[in-house]
Amino acid sequence: MTYDYDLFVIGGGSGGIATARRAAQYGAKVAVAEFDRLGGTCVNRGCIPKKLMVYASHFPDLFKDAQGFGWSPVQSTLDWQKMTTAVNQELDRLNGVYQNMLDKAGVDLFRGYAKFLDPHTLEIEDRKVTAEKILIAVGGHPVKPDIPGIEHALVSDDIFLLKEQPKRILIMGGGYIGVEFACIMNGLGSEVSLLIRKNLILRGFDDDIRSEIQAGMENHGIRVLASSEASSIEKIPEGLRVTLSGNHQEIIFTDVILSATGRKPNLDNLGLENAGVEISNGAIAVDRYSQTSQEHIFAVGDCTDRINLTPVAINEGRAFADTVFGGQSRTMSYENVPSAVFSTPEAATVGLTEAEAQEQYGEAVKLYRARFKPTYHSLSGRNEKVMVKLVVEQDTDKVLGAHMVGENAAEIIQGIAIAIKMGATKKDFDATVGIHPTIAEEFVTLR
């Protein structure tokens, strides 16, 4: 049978576009369907705009820090609309970059929702196309908890569209999205409360990271309402009235509520039942080659709910293209994938947590940890600490995990991730000469 395309990609996010370009480089005839701006969640509603706001949120502290180094005080106020306009202009530029990449690769772009009519046929608006291979890369979307009045809460997508900066904001959720936005809004000058169901934020991260960030957030003035939930939300003339249950049985008043309690794959209206694609636990079921229950249909990224990170989706997509169109069979490795939380203080991690290592290796695990005030803050006057930690398996001396809380943690852990990916031992770290005086050198001086 003759098809319109060798590969049709549903979703123009980072994973989908990376896959389409790689397949096209191998000579495949490729098309992408996207109903929204190119770049997906990361470019338009996640990584990029959020990181730009992180940068913006750091300036008040920098202005204050400067005084400790001899600079005169700075009086400055935030123009919220100027900041959000600049952020959105950068997103417009990036969308043009993505469009240009598709054009240069010779990939056709269909504007609209794509839906399966049968295993090889898709409908986009009023057009029908066929493809020999189909890749699903539709990502995910935020979901809200089912409580009375939740319609008054925003999700993370909405923060970038606010016309005015809220004076008070309540953030529900202790995952990295809730934590990052709590720190952003606090740094920008809003009064922030963070509502979490457990006693610590960032479930799944190393416990030292969790406790260090939470203590740092509280030190910066964020009120953390631990082991508590919102039981109802009511709109009143003065803003929003929230009734809490759990450890904090009280009523609080706020201007904005951000619900950051979870995300789920974008599977509605895809017509997966028409293609015979199986779903498991609300996500598309795939094997290690990203192949679904249909041998010619594949899926990558957040819609498969493996590791929901943009670089992972990109790597999954490129591995698929290399295997299917490039004749280079390979799979994505999910071991030692580094990640970061762009909170204040910042954190980054790679490899096993202390708890994971002890579960696998028991008493053979040895920990190396240091907590200290960095040189910068010896003059800034701020009470800021850095925590660095290595998790080591004693029998082999292999470094199983590296964790850090402090400024530039992500930049530092990115380099350390290479060493851990290559199987570095503690002796390898010890034999490496440190760059003095830096925070990063602590990783090679831990004893």
- Catalytic residue positions, numbered: 436
Let me know if 27 is exposed, middle or buried by CB neighbors in 10 A (0-12, 13-18, 19+): exposed
3-state secondary structure of 118: strand
Decide: 402 and 416 in contact? Cβ < 8 Å: yes
Tell me how far the alpha carbon of residue 39 is from its chain's centroid.
14
Supply the DSSP symbol for 72: P
Strands 168-172 and 297-299, sheet pairing? unpaired
Preceding peptide of 345 cis, ω within 30°: yes
The strand order across the sheet containing 365-372 reads 339-341, 347-351, 398-405, 386-393, 365-372
Determine the Cα–Cα distance for residues 235 and 220; give it in Å rounded to an integer.
Answer: 29
Write the DSSP string, 392-440.
EETTTTEEEEEEEESTTHHHHHHHHHHHHHTT-BHHHHHTSPPPSS-SG
Determine the Cα–Cα distance for residues 321 and 231; give it in Å rounded to an integer.
Answer: 47
